[in-house]
Copies of this chain bind each other. A is one copy, B any other.
Amino acid sequence: LEGHAVRTPLLEAEFLGRALGARLLIKAEPLQRTGSFKFRGAYNAISQLSPAALKAGVVGFSSGNHGQAVAAAARLCGAPAVIVMPKDAPAIKIGGTRRQGAEIVFYERGRDDREAIGARLAAERGLSLIRPYDDRQVIAGQGTIGLELVAQLGVAPDLVVVPAGGGGLIAGIGLALGAVAPTAKLYAAEPAGWHDHALSLSTGERRAAPEPSRATFCDSLLALEPGLLTFALNRRQMAGGLIVEDAEVARAMASAFRDLKLVIEPGGAVALAAVLSGKLDCRNKTVVVVASGGNVDASVYAKAMEAAPYG
């Protein structure tokens, strides 16, 4: 990934950390290419395809961030890309995918089976399917975040808190921390109702999101259950799952606006929300929070700021 992905900065959150009695750092993946960490995994997977496979093209299904990432990585590798996205994806994610030159196929969330659509397109057109999380190359790509944050910090962090959707990001970071900072405790953060990882980690087996009818604006974290491959890793390497409400996420987005000048999308802000709302005891700890993406529509962003005025 070196020279292709951005080595995103690890931002010192001085004021927010002081309020927690902790040293708090933010790994700023909104500053990654295409505005989320997803570029890392997508590029790692696509750049290893054969010349013939690249020529035939790739297909990805995605709530939006993985789609943009596959489209961008494919463009850089000279491959055509088809992205299967939900109709209700944020406009910024649809626009971002389109301007990378990808073809978009829309599906209806809750009605259509996006995996089946992706598999059918792959078979019909001879495309390589780039899975959003349950893939070894993708997990390895996301893991570079773990290597980078430990190198940038210079020591092992005490706590690392990371958003979880399908679990590819936490799986990759967990592998990396196991290698370079095995004393660090790794937590997943999820929106309430969609906390399949919290549930699965506490019971030790893959469990579905307990309340997937519950509304949340964390559009990037609506996976219904942990991935097979990702959970096989995560059940061994995670310390637990943290659950946040949308109001806490909005406050975290507003805090990042005020104190970090970093735009974070709802799903990207759940880990920061978990830490700022006190779901973990951070006192006297060095805490790294991963902000995983920043692709949010301006109207949603403005509403979050309004709901969470800073004092």
- Chain A positions within 8 Å of B, measured between CB atoms, are 6, 9, 11-12, 14-15, 30-31, 33, 35, 92, 95, 99, 254, 257-258, 260-264, 294, 298, 301-302, 305-306, 309-311
Contacts and interface: CB of A to CB of B under 8 A. Distances in A.
Contact of A305 (B260, B262, B298, B309): B298
5 contacts: A11-B31, A30-B261, A35-B261, A92-B310, A261-B262
A254 B298 contact: yes
A31 to B, nearest CB: 6
A125 B15 CA distance: 29
A263 B258 CA distance: 9
A305 B301 contact: yes
Contacts of A257: 263, 298, 301
A298 B309 contact: yes
Given A92-B258, A254-B298, 14 more contacts: A9-B31, A31-B260, A35-B261, A95-B311, A257-B301, A261-B263, A261-B294, A262-B263, A263-B263, A298-B305, A298-B306, A298-B309, A301-B302, A302-B305
A150 to B, nearest CB: 19
Contacts of A262: 31, 261-263
Contact of A99 (B11, B15, B30, B254): B15
A81 B311 CA distance: 22
B310 A95 contact: yes
Contacts of A33: 14
A310 B95 CA distance: 10
Nearest to A7: B9
Nearest to A293: B261
A138 to B, nearest CB: 22
Contacts of A30: 261
Question: Which of A9, A30, A99 has the most chain B CB atoms inside 10 A of its CB?
Answer: A9
Contacts of A309: 298
Contacts of A11: 31
A263 B257 CA distance: 7
Question: Which of A95, A264, A298 has the most chain B CB atoms inside 10 A of its CB?
Answer: A298
Contacts of A264: 261
A260 B6 CA distance: 12
